[in-house]
Structure 1
Amino acid sequence: MAHAAHHIARAYPPHGRLASFCAGGESVGEAACEGDEYRDFAFTPLLPTRLYTAAQVRDNEARAAKEMNISMPDLMHRAGSAAYELLTFARREARHITLLIGKGNNGGDAYIVGQRALENGLTVHAAQVGDPEKLKGDALNAYKRFVELGGVVQPLDEHFVIPSETQAIVDGLFGIGLDRDIAPGPFRRAIEQANAHPSALRLAIDIPSGILADTGKVAGVAFQADVTVTFIACKKGLLTAKAPDYVGRLYYAPLDVRQAFENLVTCTIERVSYQSLLRDDRLLALRPMTAHKGSFGKAILVGGYKGMPGAIRMAGEACQRVGAGLVRVVTHTQSLAPVAIGRPELMVEGLDEEVLAQSDRPVVLDADALNLLADRVVSEPSRTNWVLTPHPGEAARLLGVSTSEVEQDRFAAARQLQIRYGGVILLKGSGTIVDDGSLVSVVSDGNPGMGSGGMGDTLTGIITGLLAQGLSPSEAARVGAALHARAADEVASTYGERGMLATDLLEPLRHLVNPVRRVRLQTDA
C-alpha cells in the first residue's frame, strides 16, 4: 500500500488566499542596466518574460515596426547589425568569417552581417543555397549591397567546403518558418560541416537552423551554435526540448520594436526564473512578527516502500526547508527509523487507510502515484487543485503514447495532460513546462547536473511546502520549479554539474526562499 501511494503529498494551507501569478511585462532586455557591460550593444543576455510562437512573430513584426516608424529594410539592417555586434563581442579576434546563407530573410540578415564585416576590414567567405539573384525584397537588396561592397558569393552546393582558417561561422540558412525535417542536400551538408569545424565560433541568427521555433524539436539535423541572437520576441521553442543543446548562449535584440510588438500581440506563455519571481513581492515576502508554526500550514507526504526510505525523506526535508510549518511523513513501517534519523523535526508515522482517504486539500502527485493514475480510466478531469509532476516517461504513460512523442512537442503534451487530468501539469525536463489550463510557463533556470536520482523527490517536497503556506497550485508549481532549478544552478556554480546530489539543493534553498531578510536593530542600552 505504501509503495502504491508513493509520493502523494497533501498540503493544508493556513488560509484560503489565492493569488494569481502570470507574466506581465518584465522590463528587461530593451536596455541593459546602468553599468552593465552590454549597455552599448543592440543585444543583451537579459531575456523577456513573454514568449511567442513563430506565427505570432511572423504575422506581427511588420505591424510593430510600422508602429515605431521603422521600415522593413531598416529592421533587417538592425537585425544583421545586432548579429554582427554579437559576433565581434563573442570572438573579438575574428578576422575571417563564413556566412551560410539560405533563401529567405534570414539570408538577408546574414548579408547584413557580411556588409558590416567588409566595412570593418574582415575577410568574408559567403556561400548561398540557390541563386542569390532569385532572392526577394529586402534580402535581395541586402545581397546586392554586399556585392557592391566587394563581397563574393559562391554556391553552397556539394563542392562547398568551409575554409579551415575561418574563425566564425554565421548561420543564416533557416529562420523561424522551418516546419519540416531538413532533407539530405546542401542545407544538411552545410550544417554538418559547420558543426564539425574544430575551432570556429558558431553564431545563429534568430534561431539555429534545424530547430523548430514552436517546439524546440530538431528537424533531422541542426546548427550547433555557441551563441544565438533572437530578434523582437523570444520564441517559445528556444528554451525547451532539444533546443538548449543547440542554442548555446542566448541573447536578445529587441530592435526597438519590443514594446510595440507586445502591445499588439496577446501572450499566453511566460518564461519563469527565480529572478522573475522576485518581481512579485507577495510570493516570498517577510513573515509577520506574530507568526507561529500554525501560520505556515501543515503538509502530509506519503511514500517510501520497505527498504526505500530515501525519496520520501528528501521530499520531507525539502518541504521543511521552503518553510512549511509542520511536516508529517507517512511511510512503510520498515522505513520509519531511516526517515526520522537525522531529521527529528519530521513527524514520521506508519501508513494507514485514513491518510489515503479522498481529500479536498491540494495534492501533489509524483512517481508511482502517477503510474497508478495512468492505470485508471479517466473520462473527465478528476480535480482542479492537484499538481502532477511527470517526467517525459511518466507523461507518456499518462497519455498512452511513447516518450519520443511527448518530446516531439512538450507544450502539446503538457496541454493534453491538463485537459485529461485537470489541475496543474509540471512536465519535467530541459525547459520544464508548467500548464494550468490558461497560462503556460517555461522555466529557464536549471542545468544538466539535475539529472540524478532524487531531484524529482526534492521538487515534490518544495511544491508541497509552498502549497502548505497558501500558494495556489499554479503558483506553487511555478515558484517551486524556479526555486528548485535556481538552487541547482547555485550548486553548479560552486562545484560544477557532475556529481550533484538532490540533497545538495537543500542548503541554497534556505536563502533562496528568504530573498528579503529582516534587519535586527540593537535595542539594549
Structure 2
Amino acid sequence: MDRSMRAAAGSLALYTAEQVQEFDRKAIAAGTPGFELMHRAGAAAFACLQQRWPQHSPIDIFCGGGNNGGDGYIVAALAAQSGMAVRCWAFSETSRGDANIARELACDSGVSVQLWDGQSPASGAVVVDALLGTGFSGPLRGLYKRAIEVINAADCPVLAIDAPSGMNCDTGMHEGLAIRASLTLSFIAWKQGLFTGLASQHCGELRLDGLGIEPRIFEHTEPSAWRTDVDAELRQWGRRPVAAHKGMYGHVLVAGGDYGTAGAVVLAASAAARCGAGLVSCVTRPEHVAPLLSQRPEVMVYPGADAQAWAGALERASVLAVGPGLGQQVWGKALLDDCLQAQSPLLLDADALNILAANSASFDEQCAQQPDRIRVMTPHPGEAARLLKCSVAEVQADRFGSCKALAQRYRAVVLLKGAGTVISEGATCWVNEGGNPGMASGGMGDVLSGMIAALLAQHLDAVTACRLAAALHCRAADRAAQHGERGLLAMDLVGQLRGVMNGH
C-alpha cells in the first residue's frame, strides 16, 4: 500500500511485536542508547501514573528480569526521588543489561528491591505491571503465574507497561491468564494484538508514547494491520450533491427470512435503508411479506415462492445480501444458488456461510466462472471455523491470520466478527474498535450485513464498505447503550444509524 492509499484509508498503523522490537534495535543503532530509551519509557510511565492516580499510595511495582522490568525500576527510582512510598518486587536475583543499570538506579534512589514471595499489593496501592514484555507468548508458569493471580485478585488499579503481562501482542489472546490492567501504556508503536480478541478485557484504557523515536526509523516497514479513523472516512466520503436521486445510490436486495427468522431480513433491510441505499428490496417467505411491509413500508418485498417476481428482483438489484434468516433447507439453498449465479456484488452472511462450508466445491466453481465479482463474507468465529475446517479456538488464536486465510481461500473480502473485528482482502488487515457488551444479542450481525450492502450499493469498494460499516455499527451501538448495555436490541442500532451515517 503506497503513501497516498494510506492517507486515503484514514487509518493508523499497527505492527507485530517483532516489528516493534526491530524499531527499538534500529533506534539504538542510529545513536540512541538503549538505556536512554528505557529511561524515557519509565519516565513516561511515571508521568502517566501521576496523572491518572495522583492520590494513591504506595506504589507496588512488579519487575520481571528483562527490559520490561527495567522500565519498572525506572518508575521506582522516579517515584522514590519524588518522595512517594514505593515497594518494588523483583522476580530474579539480578537483571540483564540495561535493566540491571535501571535496577541499580532504583536502589541508589532509596528503593528497597525485594524478591517477591507471594506478597499481595498493599491496600490503596497502585500496581505497576512490569513483569513481561511484548515479546512474551505461551503459558505462564511459576512465580509469574502466581503473581498475576495475586494482582488480579487485589482490588487495586493497575498500570501495565507496554502490554498486560501474559497477553500475546500479536494475537490479542492469552493462554489462560493475563493481567487485567486499568490502563496500558504502550511504547514506540501500536501492537496489533492490543486491539482484538481478549485484549479489551485486559488492557483498560490504551495510551501510546513514541519515546521520541525519529519517523525515519519506521520507513520501509509495512504495518502488519491498520486501525480505521471513521471520522476521516466520513469526511472523505463527503455530502450528497443537491441534485441527487435514488438511482444514484444503488438497489440492495436482501434474501432470507425462512420460517421463524423473518426478523433477520427486517433488520438487514432496515439497516440498508437507514444507511442510504437508494432502493431496498427483500425476498422472503410469502407469509412474511405483510408483516415486513408493516414494519418497513419503504422496502419492496417479494415472496420467494414467486419465481417470476424473484427473478425480476434479482435482475434489478445492484447488490445482493443473502443469509440473514436464510436457513439451511431446500428453500434457502435455492435462494443462495440463484444469488451465486447472478452478477451483482454479493454479501454472504449467517446460513449462507454455513451452506457454503458444507459444499464449497460449487462456490469454487462460481468463483472460477466469475473471477472479478465482488464478494464479501461476514462470519463470526464459529462460521469461520466451519469455513476453514478447523476449531473455533484455532480461529481465535490468530484472528488476523484466520481472516487472511478466509479471504484467500474464498476470494472475498472477509469481516471476521468479534471483539476487535478484523477485515482483510487476503493481503492487508484492518481492525475495528468500539462497541460494547450489550451487542451480545441476536440480530446485530443482520444489521451489519444491511449496512455493508448499502455502502457497496453507494459505490464504496468492498474493503472500505466493511471498515466503515463495522466502525459505524459500533458507534451506533455505543450511542444506543447510553441508557445501559443490558437489554440493548439490534433495532436500537437501526434507530441510531441515520445520525452516525451523517456524522452526528
TM-score, normalised relative to structure 2: 0.88
Q: Give the secondary-structure state (helix, strand or coil) at the position aligned to 2:92.
A: coil
2:21 corresponds to:
58
Would you say 1:406 and 2:380 are equivalent positions?
Answer: no
User: Would the aligned equivalents of 2:231 and 2:503 in 1 still touch at CA under 8 Å?
Assistant: no
Query: 1:110 aligned to 2:72?
Result: yes
CA apart distance, 1:509: 1.3
Q: Take 1:478 and 1:258, find their aligned partners in 2: how far apart are those partners?
A: 30
Which residue of 2 is the match for residue 15 of structure 1? none
- Structure 1, unaligned runs of 5 or more: 1-19, 28-47, 517-525
* Match status 1:435 vs 2:424: yes
Number of the residue aligned with 2:351: 368
- Quickly say closer, same or farther: Cα 1:116–1:216, change in 2 above 3 A: same
In 2, are the aligned partners of 1:491 and 1:508 still within 8 Å (CA)?
yes
- Structure 1 residues 267, 153: CA separation in 2 closer, same or farther (over 3 Å shift)? same
Residue type at the aligned position of 2:100: L
Aligned ranges 1:493-504 → 2 under 5 Å? 494-504=482-492
Supply the distance in 1 between the matched residues of 2:441 and 2:183 (Cα, whole angstroms): 27
**Aligned counterpart for 2:188 among listed residues 232, 239, 244:** 232
Q: 1:321 to 1:404 in 2, by over 3 A?
A: same
Whole-Å Cα distance in 2 between the matches of residues 54 and 320 of structure 1?
42
AA matched with 1:141:
I
Residue identity opposite 1:449 in structure 2: G
Does residue 1:359 correspond to 2:342, yes or no? yes
Structure 2 counterpart of 1:124: 86
2:415 and 2:423 in contact (8 A); partners too? yes
Distance (whole Å) between structure 2 residues aligned to residue 152 and residue 109 of structure 1 = 16
Q: Quickly say closer, same or farther: Cα 1:173–1:116, change in 2 above 3 A.
A: same
Of 112, 119, 123, 1:161 maps to 119
Work out the CA distance in 2 between the residues paired with 1:289 and 1:276: 22
| Distance in 2 of aligned mates of 1:486 and 1:65 | 40
Give the deviation of 1:452 after TM superposition.
0.8
Counterpart selection for 1:171 from 118, 123, 129? 129
Residues 376, 414 of structure 2: 8 Å contact kept: yes
Paired AA for residue 108 in structure 2: E
* SS, match of residue 213 in structure 1: coil
CA distance in 2 between partners of 1:473 and 1:319 (Å): 15
**Is the Cα contact below 8 Å between 2:16 and 2:224 reproduced in 1?**
no
Where 1:299 maps in the other structure, the secondary structure is strand
Shift of the alpha carbon at 1:70? 3.2
Contact 2:136 2:168 survives alignment (8 Å) = yes
Tell me which amino acid in the other structure corresponds to 1:477: C
1:99-124 deviation per Cα after TM superposition (whole angstroms, max 9, x unaligned): 11111100000001101110111111
CA distance in 2, matches of 1:154, 1:268: 39
1:400, 1:175 → 2: CA distance?
33
Match of 2:320? none
- 1:339 is aligned to 292
* 1:274–1:486 CA contact under 8 A, matched in 2: no
TM-score (norm 1): 0.85
How far, CA to CA, are the matches of 1:209 and 1:146 in structure 2? 22
Paired residue for 1:32?
A: none
On the 8 A contact 2:192/2:224 being kept in 1, the answer is no
**Which has the larger share of helix?**
2
Compute the displacement of 1:403 (Å). 1.2
The amino acid of 2:99's aligned partner reads A
CA change 1:377–1:345 in 2 (3 A) is closer
Structure 2 Cα separation of the partners of residues 71 and 513 of structure 1: 48
Contact 1:323 1:465 in 2 (8 A): yes
Displacement, 1:441? Answer: 0.3
Q: Distance in 1 between matches of 2:438 and 2:233?
A: 23
Q: Is the 8 A contact 2:121 2:154 kept in 1?
A: no
Whether 1:182 aligns to 2:144 is no
Distance in 2, Cα, partners of 1:301 & 1:117: 60
Within 5 Å, give how 1:252-267 maps onto structure 2.
252-257=208-213, 259-267=215-223
Conservation of the 8 A alpha-carbon contact between 2:266 and 2:295 = no
Comparing 73-82 with 428-437, greater Cα deviation is found at 73-82
One-letter code aligned to 1:413: S
Contact 2:9 2:233 in 1 (8 A): no
- CA offset at residue 74 of structure 1? 1.4
Secondary structure, in 3 states, of the residue corresponding to 2:219? helix
| Paired position in structure 2 for 1:507 | 495
**CA-atom RMSD in angstroms:** 2.0
Structure 2 gap segments, 5+ residues each: 315-334
C-alpha displacement at 1:276, in angstroms? 4.3
SS at match of 2:206: strand
Letter paired with 2:411: G
Matched-pair contact (CA < 8 Å) for 1:302–1:330: yes
Tell me whether 1:389 sits opposite 2:378 in the alignment.
yes
CA distance in 1, matches of 2:360, 2:493: 37
Q: Secondary structure at the match of 1:460?
A: helix
Kept after mapping to 2: 8 A contact 1:25/1:50: no
After superposition, the Cα gap between the structure-2 partners of 1:515 and 1:142, relative to the gap in structure 1 and judged at 3 Å, is same
Shift of 1:402: 1.4
Q: Tell me, in whole angstroms, the C-alpha distance in 2 between the residues paired with 1:125 and 1:490.
A: 42
TM superposition shift of 1:264? 4.4
Q: Does 1:456 align with 2:445?
A: yes
Match of 2:327 in 1: none
SS of the equivalent of 2:264 reads helix
The Cα shift of 1:210 comes to 0.4
For 2:57, the equivalent position in structure 1 comes to 95
CA contact (8 A) 2:62 2:89 kept: yes
4+ runs of 1 displaced by more than 4 Å?
A: none
